[in-house]
Each structure stands twice: as structure tokens, then as C-alpha cells.
Amino acid sequence: MALIFSQLNGQFAHGHDMGLNVAAIKQAIQDIYRANDGRGKLGEEIDVGLLHRDPKLKSGFKGVLVHSSGGWRAEALVDGCTKLLGVAPTATEAAWERRQFYITNGLPYGELETQIEELRKQYPSYATAPLEVLIEEVRKHAEIVGLTQQTFGPGSATVLPPGYDEVGNRIVALPAAPGPQSPSISAQLRLAATEPPKIEALGFKNGLPAHLDPATWTPGAGAADDDLE
């Protein structure tokens, strides 16, 4: 706001009398924002290259939508609920404020954020999983399918919460989860890649060739023994 008022004062000083016209003042503020690439704070520079983009949205940025009363609203997904972060005159500033919110609150931002959302959508059991578990699953899955650079590498816009290295490895080890658990997604992917064909796929049923009936076959039944050799 200091930037806005300083430039408004400059306009008054140069004889730009707006007569306290609300519409004129709003337009002047909009012009100042655009002239400063969306900067709303004195000395704060916006690096557009760090922002999470989404070509499907009109704004071009993840979580930035057109606001009904004008401008652009920034939204965040927190604990499964959409949170309104504020409204800004430009999409760039709204996207920057959104990024700052995620970093300040230790939330994953960028491609990692998108991968976690997809994980929760596709696997309901992960909907309430701790953030540490979700990040670990995304990291392992990215390694398996070759998306580590896309998710964590330069240009991905990903910002990890504190306690992680640049590729999603947790610096502090996680305690083992209590109780039995179903195989993780990464474990299921590895199993699918290495699991041998099932007996049925080879023409066997219950350990016997497909043409033998396990209800009537008995060991030492002549031809049946030859079939099993």
C-alpha cells in the first residue's frame, strides 16, 4: 500500500486532480498495479517464473480465478477445504500472494501440490493421510515413472515444506506407522512390474493342468501323473 499511496501522492503533486472521485481513484490504483507488474508492496518484486501456472484457467495461474466484483481472487486448498486468500487487481499479484501463503504456512506448492491433489482424488484412502505420507508417495511414484524432474526439478515451481531436500526426500526420518496397512501406491507399482504370471494364466487351475478336474483327480491316477511331470 505504501507504493500505491506514494504514487497517488505523486499524481496529486503533478496536478492530477481526481476530485475524490471513487471511480477515478480505483482506476488510478489499477494503473499503478499494472505499471508495477502487480507489485502491491514497496520493494517487493514478483518473479513470474516461480509461479504455479495452469493453462486451463483464464488467469493462467493455479488457484487464481476471476472475482465477481472485479479483480482476481486467490484460493488455497487447506485440509480439503477451499480458503479465500484475498482479491488483487491483477492475476499475477493474486498468484504471488497465493505462493507466499503456501510458503509461509509450510504447504507444498507447484507441481508437487498438483500431484498430491491427484493422489487424494484417485485414492480415497489418502484423503486424510498426513502430508508427510503424501509427499513420500509422490516422490516414490515420480521415481518409478520418471517424473522426478517434472515434479521437483528446475522450472517445476515446486516448493517443499521445511524438512525436505530438493527432490522430496525427508531429512528427518518418519516414525513407522502403527498397525497393518495396505500396500502403498509405489509398492503396488513395483509389484505390478515384477510380479510373475499367475498360474491360471499358464493354463493351470488349483495347481493342475486346466483339463483336469481337481474334484475327481487323485494322485497316482496314471495319465494324470504324466501330465504333472
pLDDT digits 0-9 by tens, 10-46: 554 444 554 556 666 666 665 655 555 444 454 468 8
Report the distance separating Cα 159 and Cα 165, nearest Å. Answer: 10
Q: Map out the domains of the chain as residue ranges.
A: 1-45, 48-105, 111-194
Other CB atoms within 10 A of residue 210 CB: 10
pLDDT of the residue at 161: 87
Contact 138, 144 (CB under 8 A): no
- Greater confidence, 186 or 144? 144
Predicted local distance difference test score (pLDDT) of residue 28: 64
Using one digit for the tens of pLDDT, what is the confidence trace for 122-176?
A: 988 888 899 899 999 999 999 998 889 888 887 788 998 888 888 888 886 555 5
Judged against a pLDDT cut of 60, whether residue 81 lies above it is answered with yes
Buried/exposed 91-128: b ≥16 CB within 10 Å, e otherwise: bbbbbbbbbebbbeeebbbbbbbbbbeebbeeeeebee
State the architecture of 48-105 in CATH terms.
2-Layer Sandwich (3.30)
Mean pLDDT of 173-191: 55
Sign of torsion over alpha carbons 41, 47, 52, 56: positive
Q: What is the mean pLDDT of residues 49-71?
A: 93
Q: How confident is the model at residue 228 (pLDDT cuts 50, 70, 90)?
A: very low
